[in-house]
Amino acid sequence: MTPNHGSLLYEGKAKRVFLAEHEQKVFIEFKNSATAFNAVKKAEFEDKGRLNCQISACLFELLETKGIPTHYLGVAGDSWMAARKVEVIPLEVVLRNIAAGSLCKETPIIKGTELSPALLDIYYKDDQLGDPLLTELRLERLGLLTAQQRSEIETIAKNVNNFLKSFFNQIDLILVDFKLEFGIINSGEIVLADEISPDTCRLWDKRISDPKARILDKDRFRQDLDNLLEAYGEVLKRVQGACAKPRNCL
């Protein structure tokens, strides 16, 4: 099912954003494309869009009940979400509970090391520059955020991590790390935007000890492991089992 959307506003690697019937609303289509290593590696996975959309919808609704401001309005079809229109802040805020991925490539920290408190890394979102990791001073120099907005984003990110870490733990998933994006709505308020899905989180199955078999996220694609859709499907099944059916917003 496709909502009655307006023209295409923006197309990214994993989503398309369309205008909706009123100015401050958009429809987001979750695509089946998967990309990794700054889009050097690409593939299509039939049904991935639906899985990510439905997982994200459940997680945004849960976060909303915890008082986290988000762009989410509701689902608008299997792979469609209705959201508030935001001006995207070009930053990727990564929270790490366990060392993996780029952290282990760029530092001597060994994969699997527990990071407590969680490590918060901020990257500049720019494909051409390869999404560079920012220092405190570079972030300040870029002038993208006021000191208050910066602190608000960090507080929201840490609250999201505290909540999601324990939520996933209850459904036998380990939240290794994840990426958040933020936007500014018409009123000037900062809200959580984008998606929270196995494309943007590392999730390990607590019920499995084998280090490859337990991976339920996009690392399956990055590492050429099979059964990506089965893994995402398992995440959706467990998430849906622990939350209400996402509201429809057409």
Q: Which of residues 1 and 40 has its CB atom nearest to ligand UDP in the complex?
A: 40
Considering only residues 30, 55, 122, 131, which one is a binding residue for ligand UDP as defined by CB under 6 A?
A: 131
Whether residue 207 contacts residue 128, with contact meaning beta carbons closer than 8 Å, is answered with: no
| The two structure tokens encoding residue 243 | 């939350």
**DSSP character at residue 132:** P
Considering only residues 72, 178, 182, 221, which one is a binding residue for ligand UDP as defined by CB under 6 A?
A: 178
Please tell me whether residue 48 binds ligand UDP under the rule CB under 6 A: no
Give me the least distance between CB of 87 and ligand UDP, in Å please.
Answer: 19
Bridge partners (DSSP) of residue 42 are 35
Please tell me whether residue 194 binds ligand UDP under the rule CB under 6 A: no
Whether residue 154 contacts residue 120, with contact meaning beta carbons closer than 8 Å, is answered with: yes
Judged by CB under 6 A, which stretch of 77-85, 162-170, 199-207, 208-216 contacts ligand UDP? 199-207
Q: Which of residues 74 and 90 has its CB atom nearest to ligand UDP in the complex?
A: 90
Rounded to whole angstroms, the Cα distance separating 98 from 116 reads 8
Amino acid making up residue 211:
P
Nearest residue to ligand UDP, scored by beta-carbon proximity: 101
Considering only residues 75 through 114, tell me which ones interact with ligand UDP, judged by CB under 6 A: 92, 94, 101-103
Burial 84-106 (b: 16+ CB within 10 A, else e): bbbebbebbbbbbbbbbeebeee
Q: Which residues contact ligand UDP (rule: CB under 6 A)?
A: 92, 94, 101-103, 131, 177-179, 200-202, 218
